[in-house]
Structure 1
């Protein structure tokens, strides 16, 4: 089984990644200054729009994009330009009010909320995780457990064995390498970030998240525990787009600053460590010289999504849940739906195929 998964990953990534572009050195690149952005009101269906004609996009490519999304079992698809709605499509029985799971695209929500908790002064990402979860939260030797910080959880560098991918109990969080020396996409340590925030705040994770993030920008949605351990976020596609718009505007919603820690925001969406250039704090990054993929210990050369603008950063989830942000073009793009064909945990060849269609449309 593991060999077949490896083959799928290897074939799909090598097939659609053959360029060696991007900065490749993990340098911090700040977002360009964003112009005037529109922010939709809360508790309202109102959302101002741009027409394709106003933007002078290629209307002749619109149907091809729609058909491609439909063929790939998409449920909802949104494009925002400078905050205004350009495309809002729903397929089958999915509607504007239907909730869908974010899968691992929701990791970006957790990364943002950890930043809020640090800004609130209730934790520091350089703190040992055991300061919040107690000694023995892993089954690693104590001296190795004490190496693991919140920062390692944010960057997927905890050093624990990721074979039992989703498990969060101490018996399956076992040592394989010192924290900070190995990058592995591992849900267990990630999920426990929410327990860290809960411990630091003295609140249930969902209550802290709702009060500090969700409700402030007019999102809907809820966290649901799946597989007995994963906390997965469900919401409408519009709420995913709202969160994308918040990040496009560097943590500020209209006139209200939600997250004002400029250093954390920059670190979150830039290369966070020297093991995977294309990973920030739970965000995937384009425009780098190499990347690593979930479930593999292989470094691939080239950009993560060659067809996408180099400054694109993204929340990428299982079965092709996608949130793309492109600061240079003022774009937020959200896709929810079924698996587009590969059954991968995050990045997939669907990303590159979608951007081929988008490039023909957005001109």
Structure 2
């Protein structure tokens, strides 16, 4: 049997390659975005209690009602926006799944979707699998801001959607209020949808307010807004997230969702419904993770790497132009082999592999992990 690939250009991802190299060379893995420290034991205890209490069967396909109610209350407190838990929130097996489901709910062959690069690696395959065409716009190096004049030029009758991501993976860039005002102007009086990837919603630094689309009723009515429990509570392996959208959009989202994932993990949803009452756990998260970013920055000042400031996410990018003329992929491999530290070359997040000699580092690690990595860099 022979299958004609729907994704002929897709091979082994750079994340898999770098992780395999890290294992082979016993390297510190600052490549993939997951913590190496423990999540809160109180949340683990809540899961165990839910399982012991017998909460182990299917729950509602749209998510445990108590969890959706808690999320609606959270949105009201944070963004002063009323969300109906019955019609506007769906629990999903991770943020990436929610992005795919959102795009699949409205894309048709020939549609165009504006994608900003560097981009999280699931966006383009999701667009292509739905027969649509990604329209690429490069963020402006080195601050990775959006060139809105170019967005205006690329919008046409085929433009079905724009994907935005703030805080941004891989760069940690954050959208400003002015960015949102410009977006509102561009899409007003159009039928353009927005998929807003906000999985790092609470991982935002330097006292910058998160410009969630939940703040803006005119944008909410045309948007699928994606969130992640795994990123918020340091349990990426749980693969639990959720999507919020206007009721008519969510109705279409759920038509796709019900046939791909009848129900998400039940005991974890019970645990999260209770844990969400502890507001400090997410309100104070940004300040806690910023301490790790700042600690890592201080360590990296003693190396030849130059910081490209991050204001959110698990990541910060660094230029190595003063250290090597090699491509970012070659240099990343060399770091694993010679320094014993794995990173991700930022060119992997561009469809044409744009190489600015920049690497992405994950600083969501124990201090001793970051300290050891920086020590190894000193010997380059």
What's the TM-score once normalised by structure 2's chain length? 0.26
What's the TM-score once normalised by structure 1's chain length? 0.26
